Chains A and B, each alone.
Chain A
Amino acid sequence: MSDYNFAYLDEQTKRMIRRAILKGLAIPGYQVPFASREMPMPYGWGTGGVQVSAAVLKPDDTFKVIDQGADDTTNAVSIRRFFQKTAGVAVTEATEEASVIQTRHRIPEAELRADQILVYQVPIPEPLRFLEPSEVETRKMHALEEYGLMHVKLYEDISQHGDIATAYAYPVKVEGRYVMDPSPIPKFDNPKLKMAGIQLFGAGREQRIYAIPPYTDVVSLDFEDYPFQPTKADHACDLCGAEDSYLDELIMDDAGKRMFMCSDTDYCATRRKGGHIGAQGAPHREDAA
C-alpha cells in the first residue's frame, strides 16, 4: 500500500467534501462551494473528480475511469493508477462491473444501474460563465432564477445559424430550478442525465461540487419551435457496427479517408465479444491490447 491515508485525502478534507456532496444532492444542480485541495495532479486534469471519488470510494469498490469514453487514454490510466495505489480498490474497464465510474466528457453507453455512481470531472461548472464572466453576477442570477440571458444566447444562435450552436456542455435545467452545466459531454449524452445512478460533479480549480440524484428531472434547454436534438455522426461504428453509440472520427490516410468508431471503448469491445462486427472490424481477441 502507500504512506498516504486511504484514498489519499486526509479525513478532515474528506469530511468537508462529503458535506458538500450531501448538500449538492439535497439541492440538485446547485453548485456547492468547497475548499478544493491541491492534488498531486494538475488543476484542469480532473482534480475535482478525483477529490469527489476520494471522498466517495470505500475499499470494496470497483473503480472505472474513462476519458472521452475510453479507459486507456493516458489521463484515465493515470487517475485509475492513482486510486489503485492510494485506495487499493479493484479497478475494471467493464462498465457493468464498476461501482464507481469517474468520467471526463462522456456518459457510458450502457444504462447505469441504481447501485452505480458516476463522478464527472468538470472544467467550468458555471453554465452562465461564457455569457457573464463574473462569479458575483452569476451567483446572483442563480439566486434570482434569472436565466433570460441563456435563452437569449440560444435564440441568437438560431437567428444567426438557424440552429442552436452548442454541441457539448449543453445546458440543462434540473428539477425545474437550477440551470446546470453537465460538463463537456456531447449533447448526444444529455438524455442519459436522467438515470437510476447517482451523479456527482467535481470542479477542483473552480471549487464547486454539484449533484443529480437518481430519477431527477433533467431537461435540456430548448424552444418549442427548435426542440433539443441529441446528435451524433451519421455512421455506424466501423468496429462493432453499433448505430446507437457516440462515435470518434479517425483520419486514416493522407487523402483524408475517415473511419468511425465508438468513443465508449468498453461498449464497443463488449459488442465485438458478443459477435457484432462492423465494416472494418476484426473479431474480438483478448490480446488486442
Chain B
Amino acid sequence: MYVAVKGGERAIDNAHAWLAEERRGDSSVPELSLAQIKEQMALAVNRVMAEGSLYDPDLAALAIKQARGDLIEAIFLIRAYRTTLPRLGGSEPIATEDMACDRRVSATFKDAPGGQVLGPTFDYTHRLLDFKLAAEGAVAAAPVAPTHEGHTPHIMSFLDKEGLIQPEPPGPDVPDDLTRTPLELPASRALRLQSLTRGDEGFVLGMAYSTQRGYARNHAFVAELRIGVVAVEMEIAELGFAIEIGEITVTECETVNQFQGSKTEPPQFTRGYGLVFGMTERKAISMALVDRALRWKELGEDNLGAPAQDEEFVLYHCDNIQATGFLEHIKLPHYVDFQSELELIRKLRREAQGNMSQEAAQ
C-alpha cells in the first residue's frame, strides 16, 4: 500500500525559517548593519544599483543583506521592487560634462582641461592580501586636493571640434523604455544601451573581451573614463522649468575607435559609449566596447559573425535575472515531460531492437 507524500506547504515554511537562520549566521558575531554594507561594500552596492536599475544605496544594501551577499539575488530583489514603483516622469538628460569628478583618466591625451585624476582606484595597488585589514583599525586620512569644480569638457569634444569624431545622429526626444515596452529587433541604440547598462557585468565583460581578442575587433582607446556626482533635473509641468531633484554617482566611458571613411567622406573616428550607475568602471568600459561592436551596421562595417556584433544574441542574453531564472528553473519538477520522453525512448528502443533481431534472424 502506498500513500502519496504531501507536504509542499510545510517544506516551504521550514525552508524559509532555515534560510533566515543561515542568513544571520553565528549569532555571537555582531549583525551587519545596512550602513556598514553601504559604506564598506560600496562597490557591491553599486553593482546592485546598476543591474537592478534603481539608484538607491540603502535599498541595495538591504537587498545584499537579505540575499546573504549573493549579488544576482540582490539585483533580483531590487528589480522586483522597482517594478512596483509608479513612474512619475523622465528626467532631463544628465550633464556629465558638469560632473564633480572623483576620477578622470584619458588614455588618448596626456593632459587636458580638468586634468587627469587618478581617484580612489585599485589600479596600482599591488594585489597582496593586506593582513592589517584582518585586524580592525583606523585608516589614515588621505591627503585632499582642491576639487576641480564646475565644467570639465569631455575629451571627445576636442576631437569633435576638429571634426575627427563622427557626430552622433540625434535620437528621439523621449527614448523607448526597455522596462515599459517589449524589446523589438532591430533595437534602437537607446534600447541597446539601456539593456547593456543593466546587463550582467560578467556577460558584458566577456563580450567586450571577445572583441579585444579579435571577434569583431574595433581597436578601442579609452578617450575618457570619468566617475563622479552629477545632478539629476526634472521638468515639473506645473512650474514649466526643470529643478534639481537629486544627485547620483555615475561612471561614464567614451572610447574612440578605428576610423571610418569612404570616397565621399574623409575618415573619422567612431565612438563607443558606456554609462553606469555608481563607481563601476569595469562595467562602463565593457559597455562602451560592446556598444561599439553592435554599431557595425550603422557604421557600414561587415558582419563578421562575431557574438558581440549579434544584437539579438547580446540583448537577449545579457540580463542576469532572466538568465538565472530560466537556468535555475530546470531544477523544478519536470516529471511529466521527462516521463513522456521515457516512454518515447523505450518505444523507440523496443522497435529498434525488434528490427535488429528480425534482421539477425534473416
Contacts and interface: CB of A to CB of B under 8 A. Distances in A.
Q: So, do A and B actually touch in the complex, CB under 8 Å? A: yes
A74 B12 contact: yes
B83 to A, nearest CB: 5
A281 B1 contact: yes
- In order of increasing CB-CB distance, the 3 nearest A-B pairs are A43-B325, A44-B329, A42-B325
A249 B339 contact: yes
B336 interface: yes
Nearest to B355: A162
B332 A67 contact: yes
Interface in A42-67: 42-45, 47, 67
Contacts of B12: 74, 77-78
Given A40-B80, A68-B336, A35 B3 contact: no
Contact of B329 (A35, A45, A163, A248): A45
Given A135-B316, A163-B351, A169 B337 contact: yes
Interface residues of B, number: 52
B129 interface: no
Interface stretch (A111-119, A148-156, A171-179, A258-266): A258-266
Nearest to B181: A35
A205 B326 contact: yes
Interface of B: 1-4, 6-9, 11-12, 76, 79-80, 82-84, 86, 179-186, 312, 316, 321-322, 324-329, 332-337, 339-344, 347-348, 351-352, 355
Contacts of A13: 83
Contact of A68 (B181, B182, B333, B351): B333
A73 B326 contact: no
Interface of B is mostly: helix
A168 B336 contact: yes
- From A13, A74, A252, name the one whose CB has the most chain B CB atoms within 10 angstroms: A74
B184 to A, nearest CB: 7
Interface stretch (A21-29, A185-193, A214-222): A185-193
A45 B184 CA distance: 23
A98 to B, nearest CB: 18
Contact of B4 (A33, A74, A288): A288
Nearest to B185: A136
Contacts of A238: 2
Contacts of B351: 162-163
B79 A38 contact: yes
A38 B77 CA distance: 10
B339 A45 contact: no
Given A69-B336, A165-B344, A282 B329 contact: no
Contact of A248 (B7, B76, B186, B339): B339
Contacts of A249: 335, 339, 342
A263 B340 CA distance: 12
A44 B333 CA distance: 12
A259 B2 contact: yes
14 contacts: A33-B182, A35-B182, A42-B76, A68-B336, A69-B336, A78-B12, A186-B340, A187-B340, A232-B343, A233-B339, A239-B2, A248-B336, A249-B342, A288-B6
Nearest to B349: A161
